[in-house]
Amino acid sequence: NTAESPVAVETLDDVPEHVLRGLPEDVRLFPSAVDKTRLGVWATKSILKGKKFGPFVGDKKKRSQV
């Protein structure tokens, strides 16, 4: 018998307040469609191509680093 350890599920309580405040009006955090243990970013309305929102807070990473 090998018991699997419980998987931690990310919740809104894990998200820093500044991240929640910085979300655009039509964007929400819900469980990810890719990984149910993580939160994903979901649009509640279509986002036009080229739409910019921000400001970005944090360290920029190269694609190879994420």
Q: Is residue 52 part of a domain?
A: no
Residues 6+ apart with CB under 8 A from 6: none
18, part of any domain:
yes
- Give pLDDT, residue 20: 87
Helix ranges, the chain (H): 17-22
- With respect to residue 61, please indicate whether it lies within any of the assigned structural domains: no
Q: What is the pLDDT of residue 53?
A: 75
**How high is the pLDDT of residue 1?**
53
Q: Which residue range forms the structural domain that includes residue 33?
A: 12-43
Report the number of distinct structural domains present in the chain: 1
pTM check: above 0.85 = no
| Mean pLDDT (10-residue bins), the chain, 66 residues | 74 89 88 92 91 76 85
User: So what's the pLDDT on residue 13?
Assistant: 93
What is the distance between the alpha carbons of residues 24 and 21, in angstroms, rounded to a whole number?
Answer: 8
